[in-house]
Amino acid sequence: METLFYIFKVGIIYAALYLIYFGLFRNNTNFQTNRIYLLAIAPLSFLLPLLDFNISETAQYHIMLPTFEYNNTISETMTYSWKDLILFFYGVISVKVLFQFLNNFFKTINTISKIKKGTQKEIQPFSFFSFIHVSEKIKNEERQAILYHEQIHSTQIHSLDIIIYEISKVLLWWNPFLWMGLNSVKSNHEFIADKLASEKADKYSSVLVAQLLGVNCSVLANNFKSKPLIKKRIMMMKTKKSSRMSILKYALVIPVIGLAIITSNKETLANPIESLTLEKHNDNKVYQKVDVMPEFKGGQKGLMNYLMSNIKYPKEAQKDNIQGKVLVSFVIDSKGNIKDIKIPKPVNTMLDEEAIRVIETMPKWTPGKKDGKAVSVQYTIPIMFKL
């Protein structure tokens, strides 16, 4: 489930970044800036949850118990839970989307091959990376205008943007904002090409309206004719150019990215165990070194036996081959109760939760003493989960 949780975070981050574009920038005529933004937010959404901003541990653990190593083997008879079913169906749909993408890709390559051989039926003008097709049957003036348009798609490698989004759909097929983002990418490509081509070709708007020939080549190609977009494209060509100052609005994205980083990595930002003493709400100091140390019933051996008897290796972690050393920090108060359990440096959600559970259910200790008085003392137990 860790993988699905990561993908969910990716989808939420992309949705937030795209909604900023949709609300603030989609009617901007800074088309190239819009292209950079739309192109960046897809891979950025996948990257942000992976960033690790761990705070270096400068604190000294004065009371560090010996590492407890817990070994377990994976059961030969594995049971399948609802989590397994979710992962299975998610994977099935992702594979289907991947095959659809590959099918469209090879169809486009096949169409290009047929055009080069002269065996392809008439289709509308389009470009795909460096390949440009504009029918010889189109009138010379119109053909030149369309050729300018497709050359811009080709030289600016607009096909790459579409490929990146199509690949992102393999994992984010469930996210409607990614589909909207792909449509925005394609529309913005047309706005860029229209703007630059209209500077070279006379009566470009008339050519745009007149091009209602043929059928689409592929969803991966940049197609000159797109009926739903024609009206919008003409309007955008005639819209007054947005001021340079409007680009400053993109700075609003910075706090959103910062929030995404913090939210995605909140577990890794846990504070290290404080050194020396801490002030608690009950006005009791928490010591890291005292005259008489707290003691578990049965001493060190009793503590090891307790951990061995009570720790259960999470089944999901076993199946995913997840291992690691979990440092558990906790306070033994003046009455011997366990308090303030923390994981200074999270390892894995399942392992962390199991370590916390075992410490929470631990029986009372004999409290530590300083100057003959029972006091609160901080302890750290390293628990090694190993398969």
The answer for residues whose C-beta is within 8 angstroms of residue 56's C-beta and 6 or more apart is none
pLDDT at 164: 96
List phi, psi (to 5°) of 360.
-60, -35
pLDDT at 159: 95
List phi, psi (to 5°) of 377.
-130, 140
Q: Express each pLDDT in 219-248 by its tens digit.
A: 676 665 555 566 677 677 766 666 666 667
Residue 383 and residue 324 in contact, taking contact as beta carbons nearer than 8 Å: no
CA distances from 226 to 132, 142, 188, 232, 275 (A): 17, 16, 13, 10, 66
Cα Rg of the chain (Å, integer): 31
Q: Is the dihedral of CA 248, 254, 257, 259 positive or negative?
A: negative
Strand, helix or coil for residue 191? helix
pLDDT at 274: 37
Can you give the pTM of this predicted structure?
0.62
The answer for residues whose C-beta is within 8 angstroms of residue 15's C-beta and 6 or more apart is 175, 177
Mean pLDDT of the chain: 80
pLDDT at 232: 72
The CATH 3.30.2420.10 domain(s) of the chain lie at 68-73+270-386
Query: Which residues lie across from 375 on neighbouring strands?
Result: 368
Q: Express each pLDDT in 49-59 by its tens digit.
A: 887 554 433 33
pLDDT at 256: 75
Q: Is the dihedral of CA 364, 367, 346, 69 positive or negative?
A: negative
The single residue listed with the structure tokens 């962390």 is: 352
Q: Express each pLDDT in 66-100 by its tens digit.
A: 565 656 544 344 455 677 788 889 999 999 999 99
CATH node for 68-73+270-386: 3.30.2420.10
The answer for residues whose C-beta is within 8 angstroms of residue 324's C-beta and 6 or more apart is 347, 348, 351, 384, 385
Please give the structure tokens belonging to residue 375. 């006091």
The answer for residues whose C-beta is within 8 angstroms of residue 326's C-beta and 6 or more apart is 343, 347, 351, 352, 355, 382, 383, 384, 385
Could you tell me which of 81, 75, 2 has the C-alpha nearest to residue 324? 2
CA atoms of 48 and 16, how far apart (whole Å)? 13
Residue 40 and residue 80 in contact, taking contact as beta carbons nearer than 8 Å: no
